[in-house]
Chains A and B, each alone.
Chain A
Amino acid sequence: MNITVEYTAQLKARTGCSDETFEVDSSCDLPALFSAIAGRHGDPVREIVLDAQDTPVQVLCFVNDKQVDWGAPPQLAEGAKITIMSPISGG
């Protein structure tokens, strides 16, 4: 199935794009998608989305504009839109 992933801020800068498509197995869940994102873009992105154990860092993430509850990540479906918001601050 095809999943669209949108990035903001640091993630947009490090991936070099504001959105892109991933073709994944129908069994793919959100942690597996995060691993695929890190695999495609390497360490600069990995350090934002995965921790040292390669589990997703709990970044602010939305699936079809609904915020992800990391205690119960939603199933992904064909055509899903994932928005990953890189943490930002004031200054």
Chain B
Amino acid sequence: MTVQGKPLTDEDRAIYEWQLDVPGFGEEGQERLKGASVLISRVGGLGSVVAYELAAAGIGRLVLVHAGNIKPSDLNRQLAMTHDALGTPRVVSAKRRLNELNPRMSIDAISENITDDNAERLVGEVDLVVDCAPLFEERFAMNREAVRQGKPLVECAMYELEAHITTIIPGQTPCLACLHPEEPPAWRRRFPVFGAVSGTVGCMGAMEAIKVLGGLGAPLAGRMVTMDLRDMTFRTMKLTRNPNCPICSHLNKRC
């Protein structure tokens, strides 16, 4: 993908010198990150960590989307939330915490969730989307817009001590609807999980975003990494597009 980079300052070079030495990245990759914008749908257990790692890496602009106020049950995993902010909007806490780490970045904190009504506008504002949302209706809305607008979409998910991640490149890889054609009937909003599980896959989601935006490595395009942290089993599964997918089958490249 093409991201219009922004020139680095001496302060940038001082802050990012450890990652500027990464082969295949360098100053050109850092400039791309500085010029890039990322939408993170929900800054909960997954999204908090994705946002924190992207802030640390020097992404230029984050759009954080998450409705509601901080509840006690958020605090086992939502690392952008703080105890003293209980009862206040999640995105306000997240923005404050991220700006403590990186005051140079721009953050749009939007206290709403992705819907069919706002997905076009919100996806249209960024270069890449990271899906950390719990509800399939939100995820499907994001997927539809990401495919329609040709924006990469990093998909992160978790349950108990398990998680998986894949990166959707519209027209090249399966989209979310190829993997799950319909809303799963037995899916429940609340599920068991540790913060260390969401943190693990959240870091991987941030790394995928950095790779796609910074132009290094091999993103999980058409592949899904699954992990079970109960026994530390990691597998990579090859994914295939659904030739009858109502969302992406009109795009003709095959992975």
Interface, chain A (partner B; CB < 8 A): 8-10, 12-13, 18, 47-48, 51, 57-60, 62, 65-67, 69-71, 83, 85-91
C-alpha spacing A62/B182, complex, angstroms: 18
| Residue in A51, A57, A83, A90 whose beta carbon sits within 8 Å of that of B133 in the complex | A90
Q: Who on chain B is nearest to A46 by CB? A: B186
On chain B, the residues within 8 Å of A18 by CB distance are 228
**A46 → chain B closest CB, angstroms:** 9
| Residue in A12, A62, A70, A91 whose beta carbon sits within 8 Å of that of B191 in the complex | A91
Stretch at the interface among B6-14, B53-61, B93-101, B236-244: B236-244
A47-B226 contact given A67-B240, A90-B46, CB 8 Å threshold: no
On chain B, the residues within 8 Å of A59 by CB distance are 180, 184
* B136 at interface by CB-CB < 8 Å: yes
On chain B, the residues within 8 Å of A51 by CB distance are 185
* Closest CB pairs A-B (n = 10): A90-B132, A91-B134, A9-B159, A87-B184, A88-B159, A88-B157, A90-B46, A48-B186, A89-B134, A47-B186
C-alpha spacing A33/B129, complex, angstroms: 37
A48-B184 contact given A88-B157, A90-B47, CB 8 Å threshold: yes
Is the beta-carbon distance between B133 and A89 smaller than 8 angstroms? yes
Is the beta-carbon distance between A90 and B156 smaller than 8 angstroms? yes
**B229 → chain A closest CB, angstroms:** 12
Is the beta-carbon distance between A71 and B185 smaller than 8 angstroms? no
| Residue in A8, A58, A87, A89 whose beta carbon sits within 8 Å of that of B226 in the complex | A8
Is the beta-carbon distance between A88 and B162 smaller than 8 angstroms? yes
* B45 at interface by CB-CB < 8 Å: yes
Q: Can you list 14 residue pairs at the A/B interface with Cβ under 8 Å?
A: A8-B159, A9-B162, A10-B159, A58-B180, A67-B240, A69-B243, A71-B244, A87-B187, A88-B158, A89-B133, A90-B47, A90-B133, A91-B190, A91-B198
On chain B, the residues within 8 Å of A62 by CB distance are 237
On chain A, the residues within 8 Å of B239 by CB distance are 67
C-alpha spacing A48/B160, complex, angstroms: 17
Is the beta-carbon distance between A13 and B238 smaller than 8 angstroms? no
On chain A, the residues within 8 Å of B158 by CB distance are 88-91
**B184 → chain A closest CB, angstroms:** 4
CB contacts under 8 Å to A, within B161-180, are: 162-164, 179-180
**A11 → chain B closest CB, angstroms:** 9
CB contacts under 8 Å to A, within B34-69, are: 42, 44-47
Is the beta-carbon distance between A88 and B164 smaller than 8 angstroms? yes
On chain A, the residues within 8 Å of B193 by CB distance are 91
On chain B, the residues within 8 Å of A10 by CB distance are 159, 186, 191
C-alpha spacing A12/B242, complex, angstroms: 26
Is the beta-carbon distance between B237 and A89 smaller than 8 angstroms? no
On chain A, the residues within 8 Å of B164 by CB distance are 85, 88
A91-B162 contact given A10-B186, A69-B242, CB 8 Å threshold: no
On chain A, the residues within 8 Å of B182 by CB distance are 57-58
Is the beta-carbon distance between A91 and B44 smaller than 8 angstroms? yes
* B251 at interface by CB-CB < 8 Å: no
On chain A, the residues within 8 Å of B184 by CB distance are 48, 57, 59, 86-87
On chain A, the residues within 8 Å of B160 by CB distance are 9, 13
